Amino acid sequence: MVPDRYTKLYYIILVFALIYLWLVSGDLFELGQRLVYTGILIGFWTIFAWLDTIRVCGLGCLISIPLMYRIFWTSKRGSLLIGILIFCLLIWFNPLAANLSPYRFIMAGTFVFSITLFWFQPPFALMLGESSPEIRVPLKTISGFLNPLRIVGFFDGMREINGAFSPFTDNLRTESFRDWEKVIDTLINLVPLIVLDARGTSKIVAFEVFLINRSPRGLKKSIFIVNPDGTAPALYVNGLSIHTPGLQGIFEKDLSNQLKRHCDLFRTNF
């Protein structure tokens, strides 16, 4: 999504505020204060992303909050964030420390508040495909185009992705296959947009195509990335092809244009 003028203005204010806090205000604020104010600014950015999501999708998108709560406790990233929180709390509230920071309660509250807002933001798009280096390009394209709307996915080892996709809060990879199947099936029926890289040959991607095809509106709101010669192994396994009526099969280089047309179809302000 091309940010509107208010989004651009907020980005500019946020960047200059962070620069001020860390480079200019060293003599005015202690480190604890700067951490708190930084967390508050990041939290406000997340609130802004929430408002954009509601503006585009309507209040109905809030029904995803209970699902995101359940995903948190079954995902690998949720376990990691809980570990980081416990580690920070042990440092901030260490009973053996000589001097505890007077801002420890505010820092803990700000940390929990920011993580909660990031994690529970309703997802707008679901990115599916193999956990391979090839997925990085379309993932960067879709996350950059739709920013600040949220894109979620299920990937292993995706730690160096450029763009608005966060490996810590947007990668919803679950611990077990049973949880993964339930979560992904629910998201397929929930999000307004699905992008699937159908160039892979793994059984997991083929099963994701099966779940999309089984959903009443799955094919209509999905974009499938195919090989330059038009082949798509993940589609063929399910008896589908780029010639299937209602199926949107595109080349990777055309993803941005197709995203624009798809969002216009949903009558959003892209």
Q: What is the mean pLDDT of the chain?
A: 78
CA-derived radius of gyration, the chain: 20
User: For residue 227, what pLDDT is reported?
Assistant: 92
- pLDDT tens-digit series, residues 52-107: 888 888 888 888 888 888 888 887 777 778 888 888 788 777 777 667 777 778 77
- Residues 6 or more apart whose CB falls under 8 angstroms from that of 63 comprise 190
Please tell me the distance from the alpha carbon of residue 260 to that of residue 268, in angstroms, as a whole number: 10
> How crowded is residue 4: how many other Cβ atoms within 10 Å of its Cβ?
11
User: Sheet containing 150-153: which strands, arranged edge to edge?
Assistant: 150-153, 123-128, 193-197, 222-225, 249-250
Q: Which parts of the chain have pLDDT scores under 50?
A: 1-6, 28, 162, 268-270
Structure tokens at 31: 């480190």
Structure tokens at 244: 């299937």
User: For residue 151, what pLDDT is reported?
Assistant: 87
Report percent pLDDT > 70 for the chain.
Answer: 76
Please tell me the distance from the alpha carbon of residue 25 to that of residue 10, in angstroms, as a whole number: 21
Q: What is the CATH number of domain 123-265?
A: 3.40.50.450
**CB burial class (10 A; 0-12, 13-18, 19+) of residue 48?**
middle
Please tell me the distance from the alpha carbon of residue 50 to that of residue 118, in angstroms, as a whole number: 9
Compute the CA torsion angle 56, 58, 63, 68 (nearest 10 deg). 20
User: For residue 32, what pLDDT is reported?
Assistant: 61
User: For residue 109, what pLDDT is reported?
Assistant: 80
- pLDDT tens-digit series, residues 167-182: 656 878 777 777 788 8
**pTM, to two decimals:** 0.77
User: For residue 206, what pLDDT is reported?
Assistant: 92
